[in-house]
């Protein structure tokens, strides 16, 4: 992508600043307001911005909600007074929507768009990435003009945040923004400009429906041959599904589930996909994992859940298969359209809102997957995991590969669904949602206790990855936990906690009652190490609240991790050892 300008804005009562960097993190320009402006004829300080941004694409973080609107006010000579800018800032910060119309000069991308369901702040992401999260000491509610030193400080930290935005964009360019750009080319040309700020799910819905609406189903459409006609599924499950799909209020209400025992496993049925596993942790070898390829998209096609738009949906599916290797960007965009639909069925804000279709797809999928479990079990295979669209089982060589024939029979029964079978040498499972599988030296991990093993999670929770590394290496390789610790003492990012107080709290205080940043990076520190403390979230009524699962003795380091001093002398290995051992007790013993 060319002609990008990265930017950020800071506002106080008398001083407003906007900083622009290029993709190399070099400053292109920055602008301060004219404090002495008395009339609209006086220079505002922002007169050169329109020429700077013309024909450029601006990139910010949360700029669709904030910076684009403030920049609009700055560039309008009638509204660029300091008091008006501050009033607009305060309204947006308090949650009010911007009432004006965005400047037509502003064409922008928001790196926060669809970044994660947790909606992390920029400071959280900076912390996750291991860079400085030190905040400006300037009070943004200050009621006087800033001093020269305060202006320099604000400019420094604003540049830092813009540079972090460059990093975020670089990380998301291939995975999100190029995909979104490809989706835009699938929109009618006269609608692309207005659609450029839509997220990818909204784009997907509009690509499929165009100007036509989707008629929502009034009841479920599970094929009659299966409804209450699968004897292995007990009546309690059918009763629940019937209650859920009995009315629109019920199907959009709080989720319900029924738990049953079958095939030496405990299964949970509901509207969240089928989940089943043995009750105890296990270790197994010679595992096959039969996955239903594109299960929900295939069911959507089979059930014609998109009405007349189903034909377009299937043409997108076929095109994706044809160009999967020759045009990966467009193939990724098409895959996103296919995979977005099921979730949009459940979103009342989407043009695809059709909760009965969502329920039908999910119920039919659970019936099919449970039938596969039964067929494999009846043939003598041990089921160890069933999770939404796949079944893992032990491949007993005495059965002579009978699973091949079972899978083919199942595919005939549920015409339109196809199975892809992977194999694993070893499968280490805590529960249905947490397991480690290995094959030819490769490790597959699934679940919240192990999913940070391979890489950082910059956009969600990047806390104490060392615990997951030590746990997995111990279970897979037998590596002593202490050895993993010693081998990674040169990587502070693995040991960090990023702690943030949400909007329902006043802020963060240390053990001495001193206010700290709202977002802080801490480590578990030795008792004898100087400067340790403990951080608390402070409620609106002044009460202290612990950060969950955080250390009792914290060393705060909000600077760049590359500059942290005495890390090996400071870190309390016993704290992390206790965490790993506590986690290991929930996993099976591996010899």
Residue 262 has phi, psi (to 5 degrees) of -165, 145
Total Cβ atoms within 10 A of residue 114: 13
Name the residue among 577, 586, 558 with its Cα closest to residue 464: 577
pLDDT of residue 160: 97
pLDDT of residue 210: 86
Q: How far apart are CA 178 and CA 169, in angstroms?
A: 11
Is position 523 within any domain? yes
Please check whether residues 294 and 382 belong to one and the same domain. yes
Name the residue among 82, 87, 90, 89 with its Cα closest to residue 35: 82
Please check whether residues 50 and 160 belong to one and the same domain. yes
3-state secondary structure of 97: coil
Query: Per the structure, how many domains does the chain have?
Result: 3
Is position 213 within any domain? no
Q: How far apart are CA 438 and CA 510, in angstroms?
A: 44
How many CA atoms, within 13 angstroms, populate the side-chain half-sphere of residue 93? 13
Please check whether residues 300 and 190 belong to one and the same domain. no
Q: Which of 413, 431, 449 is the last residue of a domain?
A: 431
State the SS3 of 507-558.
EEEECCCCEECCEEEEEEECCCCCCCECEEEEECCCCEEECCCCCCCEEECC
Name the residue among 413, 380, 385 with its Cα closest to residue 274: 385
Is position 448 within any domain? no
Q: How far apart are CA 259 and CA 237, in angstroms?
A: 8
Please check whether residues 270 and 384 belong to one and the same domain. yes
Name the residue among 164, 112, 139 with its Cα closest to residue 459: 112
Which residues on adjacent β-strands are paired with residue 109? 59
DSSP 571: B
CB contact set of 120 (below 8 Å; sequence gap of 6+): 128, 459, 460
Total Cβ atoms within 10 A of residue 43: 12
Please check whether residues 389 and 502 belong to one and the same domain. no
Is position 217 within any domain? no
pLDDT tens by residue, the chain, 591 residues: 679 999 999 999 999 999 999 999 999 999 999 988 888 888 999 999 999 999 999 999 999 999 999 999 999 988 999 999 999 999 999 899 898 899 999 999 999 999 999 999 999 999 999 999 999 999 888 999 999 999 999 999 999 999 999 999 999 999 999 999 999 999 999 999 999 999 999 999 999 998 888 999 999 999 999 999 998 999 999 999 999 999 998 998 888 999 999 999 999 999 989 999 999 999 999 999 999 999 999 999 999 999 999 999 999 989 998 998 899 999 999 999 999 999 999 999 999 999 999 999 999 999 999 999 999 999 999 999 999 999 999 999 999 999 999 999 999 999 999 999 999 999 999 999 999 999 999 999 999 999 999 999 999 999 999 999 999 999 999 999 999 999 999 999 999 999 999 889 999 999 999 999 999 999 999 999 999 999 999 999 999 999 998 999 999 999 999 999 999 999 999 999 999 999 999 999 986
Name the residue among 525, 590, 589 with its Cα closest to residue 556: 525
Burial (CB count within 10 angstroms: exposed 0-12, middle 13-18, buried 19+), residue 36: exposed
Q: How far apart are CA 226 and CA 423, in angstroms?
A: 31
Please check whether residues 338 and 387 belong to one and the same domain. yes
CATH number of the domain residue 405 falls in: 3.90.1600.10
Q: How far apart are CA 389 and CA 292, in angstroms?
A: 5
Tokens of 304: 């014609």
pLDDT for 353-387, tens place per residue? 999 999 999 999 999 999 999 999 999 999 999 99
Please check whether residues 244 and 298 belong to one and the same domain. yes
Secondary structure element (H or E) that encloses residue 19, with its range: strand 16-21
Name the residue among 484, 461, 476 with its Cα closest to residue 577: 484
CATH number of the domain residue 184 falls in: 3.30.420
CB contact set of 228 (below 8 Å; sequence gap of 6+): 238
C-alpha distance from residue 470 to each of 150, 276, 427, 498, 590 (Å): 45, 27, 17, 20, 14
Is position 230 within any domain? no
DSSP 144: S
Total Cβ atoms within 10 A of residue 362: 26
pLDDT of residue 424: 98
Which residue in this structure is represented by tokens 């999928």?
A: 365
Q: Return the exposure string of 200-225: e unless at least 16 CB atoms fall within 10 Å of the residue's CB, then b.
A: bbbbbbbbbbeeeebeebeebbbeee
Tokens of 395: 């491949």
Q: How far apart are CA 102 and CA 80, in angstroms?
A: 14
Q: Where are the alpha helices (DSSP H) in 59-211?
A: 67-75, 82-93, 122-129, 148-172, 178-184, 192-195, 200-209
DSSP states of 373-399:
HHHHHHTTPEEEEEESSEEEEE--GGG
Q: Compute, in degrees rounded to 10, the torsion defined by CA atoms 95, 97, 99, 103.
A: 110
pLDDT of residue 591: 62
Burial (CB count within 10 angstroms: exposed 0-12, middle 13-18, buried 19+), residue 464: buried
pLDDT of residue 104: 95
Please check whether residues 278 and 375 belong to one and the same domain. yes
Q: How far apart are CA 571 and CA 532, in angstroms?
A: 11
The phi-psi region of residue 585 (left if phi > 0; otherwise alpha if psi is between -120 and 50; otherwise beta) is alpha
Is position 541 within any domain? yes
Please check whether residues 43 and 188 belong to one and the same domain. yes
Name the residue among 378, 361, 373 with its Cα closest to residue 416: 361
Contact (CB, 8 A) for 570 and 525: yes
pLDDT of residue 255: 84
Is position 75 within any domain? yes
CB contact set of 500 (below 8 Å; sequence gap of 6+): 121, 123, 124, 518, 519, 520
Contact (CB, 8 A) for 519 and 123: yes
pLDDT of residue 41: 87
Please check whether residues 395 and 262 belong to one and the same domain. yes
Domain encompassing residue 38: 4-197
Q: How far apart are CA 503 and CA 482, in angstroms?
A: 38
Q: How far apart are CA 575 and CA 571, in angstroms?
A: 9
Q: Which of 182, 197, 212 is the last residue of a domain?
A: 197
Please check whether residues 167 and 254 belong to one and the same domain. no
Please check whether residues 170 and 52 belong to one and the same domain. yes
Which residues on adjacent β-strands are paired with residue 27? 21
Contact (CB, 8 A) for 354 and 217: yes
Q: Which of 431, 451, 481 is the last residue of a domain?
A: 431
Q: How far apart are CA 544 and CA 539, in angstroms?
A: 6
Would you tell me the crossing angle of helices 310-323 and 295-303 to the nearest 10 degrees? 140
Is position 109 within any domain? yes
DSSP 334: H
């Amino acid at each position: 992508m060319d002609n990008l300008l990265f930017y950020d804005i800071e506002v106080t009562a008398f001083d407003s600043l906007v900083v622009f960097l290029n993709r190399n993190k070099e400053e292109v320009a920055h602008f301060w307001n004219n404090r002495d402006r008395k009339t609209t004829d006086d220079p505002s300080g922002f007169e050169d911005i329109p020429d700077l941004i013309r024909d450029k694409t601006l990139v910010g973080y949360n700029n669709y909600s904030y910076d684009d609107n403030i920049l609009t006010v700055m560039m309008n000579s009638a509204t660029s007074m300091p008091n008006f800018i501050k009033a607009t800032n305060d309204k947006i910060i308090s949650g009010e929507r911007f009432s004006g119309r965005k400047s037509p000069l502003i064409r922008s991308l928001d790196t926060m768009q669809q970044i994660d369901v947790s909606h992390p702040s920029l400071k959280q992401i900076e912390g996750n990435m291991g860079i400085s999260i030190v905040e400006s000491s300037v009070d943004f509610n200050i009621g006087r003009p800033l001093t020269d030193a305060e202006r320099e400080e604000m400019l420094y930290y604003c540049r830092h945040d813009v540079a972090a935005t460059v990093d975020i964009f670089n990380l998301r360019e291939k995975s999100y923004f190029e995909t979104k750009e490809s989706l835009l080319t699938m929109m009618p040309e006269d609608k692309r400009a207005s659609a450029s700020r839509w997220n990818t799910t909204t784009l997907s819905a509009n690509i499929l429906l165009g100007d036509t609406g989707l008629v929502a189903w009034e009841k479920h459409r599970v094929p009659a041959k299966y409804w209450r006609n699968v004897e292995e599924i007990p009546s309690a499950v059918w009763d629940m599904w019937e209650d859920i799909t009995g009315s629109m209020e019920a199907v959009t209400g709080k989720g319900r589930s029924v738990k049953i025992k079958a095939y030496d496993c405990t299964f949970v049925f509901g509207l969240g996909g089928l989940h089943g596993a043995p009750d105890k942790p296990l270790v197994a070898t010679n595992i096959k994992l039969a996955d239903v390829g594109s299960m929900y998209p295939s069911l959507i096609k089979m059930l014609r859940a998109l009405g007349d738009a189903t034909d377009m949906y299937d043409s997108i599916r076929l095109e994706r298969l044809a160009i999967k290797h020759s045009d990966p960007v467009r193939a990724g965009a098409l895959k996103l359209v296919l995979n977005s639909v099921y979730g949009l069925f459940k979103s009342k804000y989407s043009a695809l809102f059709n909760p009965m279709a969502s329920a039908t797809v999910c119920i039919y999928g659970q019936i099919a997957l449970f039938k596969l479990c039964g067929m494999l079990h009846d043939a003598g295979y041990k089921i160890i995991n069933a999770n939404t669209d796949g079944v893992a089982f032990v491949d007993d060589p005495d059965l002579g590969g009978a699973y091949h024939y079972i899978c083919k029979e199942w595919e005939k029964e549920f015409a339109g669904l196809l199975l892809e079978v992977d194999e694993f040498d070893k499968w280490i499972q805590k529960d249905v949602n947490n397991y480690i599988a290995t094959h030819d030296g490769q490790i597959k991990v699934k679940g919240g206790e192990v999913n940070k093993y391979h890489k950082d999670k910059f956009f969600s929770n990047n806390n104490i990855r060392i615990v997951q590394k030590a746990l997995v290496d111990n279970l897979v390789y037998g590596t002593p936990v202490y050895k993993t610790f010693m081998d990674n003492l040169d990587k502070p990012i693995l040991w960090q906690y990023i702690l943030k107080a949400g909007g329902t709290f006043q802020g963060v205080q240390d053990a001495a009652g001193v206010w700290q940043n709202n977002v802080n990076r801490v480590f578990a520190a030795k008792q004898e190490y100087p400067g340790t403390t403990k951080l608390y979230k402070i409620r609106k009524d002044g009460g202290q609240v612990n950060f969950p699962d955080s250390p009792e003795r914290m060393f705060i380091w909000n600077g760049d991790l590359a500059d942290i001093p005495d890390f090996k002398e400071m870190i309390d290995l016993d704290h992390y050892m206790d965490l790993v051992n506590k986690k290991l007790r929930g996993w099976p013993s591996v010899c």
